Amino acid sequence: MTDERKKFYITTPIYYVNDKPHIGHAYTTIAADVVARLHRQLGEDVFFLTGTDEHGAKIAASAEKAGKSPQAFVDEISAKYSLTWDQLGIAPDKFIRTTDPEHKDAVKVFLEKLKASGKIYEGEYEGLYCVGHEAFIKESELVNGVCLDHKTKPEKIREQNWFFKLSEYQKILEERISHDDLIIRPPTRKNEVLSFIRQGLEDIAISRPNVKWGIPLPWDKSQTVYVWVEALFNYCSAIGYVSDPENFQRYWPADLQLLGKEIIKFHCIIGPALLLAIKEELPKAIFANGFFTLGGEKISKTVGNIIDPNDWVAKYGSDAVRYFVLREVPFGQDGDVSEEKLKVRYNSDLADGLGNLFSRTTNMIEKYLDGDVGEFVSPPKDLSGASDAFYNLDFSEGLVLIWKEIAWANQLIDKAKPWELVKTDPEKVKELLLNLTALLYDIAKKLAPVLPETAQKIKEILESGDIRKPEPLFKKIS
């Protein structure tokens, strides 16, 4: 039987396994999980992919430093990523590892196709290689001879490489992107990519002779494929480019790719050009999120200011972390995060806002209606605009709109004073509680993609028909 549902394929970057995940990696992955859940809620056939990027010089060096074999090292760190996603309630349909045989086989087929396209040639390259970036960088990008992002001196490299004729794709990429055949959001990122393309594209080296921890070129075993070229292909290999062509046909092209703004050139230029060369469709849309900063500085392993999301989950619960990262910073912009800020949001929005509305309502149902509120009907359509905002990736705005409803409902209770009203007009109190229950049920439905655990708890209790003093949703933290 064919699946008539609309398909929706969403991806995150695959993360380097040189170290354990931090809150920045969690950010993009939580956002993707929310979008995946939202589209599942809409009845679509969703495929949500994340995973780890495990080859290349940077990983090999980290393994060596840890005194482990590359394979043992990547196994360990990759497992930390998937465990962390589990802790955060992130449920991908697939977690790809670039050391998977399935990926390696697909990359070989892809490389053969690329070679057959006539768009690659052999040549010599001389340049500065930044291992942190896993990319050649320009002299002009250095400050005092040092890469600003990684605070390291790049290596001067002169070597034989295989090259890809990226320069030939300037016109077509400019056309596709400016016409929104390939949508790039937010608009600042689209402009950034377009102006980069308009400056002219240079051919790129797609193989490295001296990097052993990688996938060898099928026709030249002395070289391994450049780690970015291999990594960009994960979006195809993961859905069965070679191992399950039917699945590949069903899900490709990706409908939405989320990533951080520092890797848009790879995703909006190199990746698409490679796909054009092998005659595959381009992803439909790419959205770049901004950076999380701590005291104004980008959170990164290099700076050493990382926040382990597992620590926050242990203290505040996974839903609170998911809520915080999406509420605190408008998606697409940079913004500061810290445990202090998380605590403020936790207490004011989750405990005093949603949590309080839920306990007041359920306590009154127990007290005045003996736990049975009766049949409630939740609104058939979301009038708040929150679901539309989520759909449009404006998570913070969606949450603001829902919290307006929560504040309104809490005020309604304060004004109606049901504890007094019950003495004179119990029917009115019943009606009020019925309306509050319907509203809470609707709020839980809208919040489910962001707060899956909390939404489930609220729904179960309200549906149970016997509503008695449930545990608080969020206990206040001092």
Find the binder of ligand MSP among 15, 163, 164, 368 (CB under 6 A).
Answer: 15
Residue of the chain from 13, 214, 330, 449 that contacts ligand MSP (CB under 6 A): 13
Q: Which is nearer to ligand MSP, 55 or 446 (CB)?
A: 55
Is the CB of 108 or the CB of 298 nearer to ligand MSP? 298
Q: What does the per-residue mask of binding to ligand MSP show for 242-271, with x meaning CB under 6 A?
A: -----------------xx-xx--------
DSSP 154-196: PEEEEEEEEEE-GGGGHHHHHHHHHTTSSEEESHHHHHHHHHH
Radius of gyration of the CA atoms of the chain, in A = 25
Stretch that binds ligand MSP, among 88-96, 295-303, 353-361, 398-406 (CB under 6 A): 295-303
Residue at 230: amino acid letter: E
CB of 277 to ligand MSP, least distance (A): 17
Judged by CB under 6 A, does residue 231 bind ligand MSP?
yes
Shorter beta-carbon distance to ligand MSP: residue 238 or 354: 238
In the complex, least distance from residue 210 CB atom to ligand MSP, rounded to whole angstroms: 20
For residue 291, state whether it binds ligand MSP (rule: CB under 6 A): yes
Measured between alpha carbons, how far is 227 from 60 in angstroms, rounded to an integer? 12
Stretch that binds ligand MSP, among 239-247, 274-282, 293-301, 370-378 (CB under 6 A): 293-301
Q: Is 24 in the site for ligand MSP (CB under 6 A)?
A: yes
130, 201, 232, 365: residue in contact with ligand MSP (rule CB under 6 A): 232
DSSP structure string for 350-380: IIIIIIHHHHHHHHHHHHHHTT--------S
Is residue 62 a contact point for ligand MSP (CB under 6 A)?
no
* Residue whose C-beta lies closest to ligand MSP: 24
**225 is an interface residue for ligand MSP by CB under 6 A:** no
> Residue with structure tokens 């936790």?
346
Q: Are 125 and 158 in contact (CB under 8 A)?
A: yes
- Could you tell me if residue 90 is left (phi over 0), alpha (psi between -120 and 50 degrees) or otherwise beta? beta
Residue 50, interface with ligand MSP (CB under 6 A)? no
Which of 53, 255, 328, 442: binder of ligand MSP (CB under 6 A)? Answer: 53
Q: Indicate the burial class of 376 (C-beta count within 10 angstroms; 0-12, 13-18, 19 or more).
A: middle
Burial class for 143, CB neighbours closer than 10 Å (0-12, 13-18, 19+): exposed
- 298 lies in the site for ligand MSP, by CB under 6 A: yes
Residue 273 in the binding site for ligand MSP (CB under 6 A): no
| Residue 339 · residue 441 · CB < 8 Å | no
Instruction: Candidates 8, 9, 10, 16: give the one binding ligand MSP (CB under 6 A).
Output: 16
Contacting ligand MSP (CB under 6 A), which of 10, 14, 205, 282? 14
357: Cβ contacts below 8 Å, ≥ 6 apart: 406, 409, 410, 413, 436, 440
**Residue 51 touching ligand MSP (CB under 6 A):** no
Distance CA 140, CA 230 (A): 27
Residue 24, Cα to own-chain centre: how many angstroms?
10
Residue 31 · residue 289 · CB < 8 Å = yes
Rounded to whole angstroms, how far apart are CA atoms 223 and 133? Answer: 20
Residues within the interface to ligand MSP (CB under 6 A)? 13-16, 24-25, 27-28, 53, 231-232, 234, 259-260, 262-263, 289, 291-292, 298-300
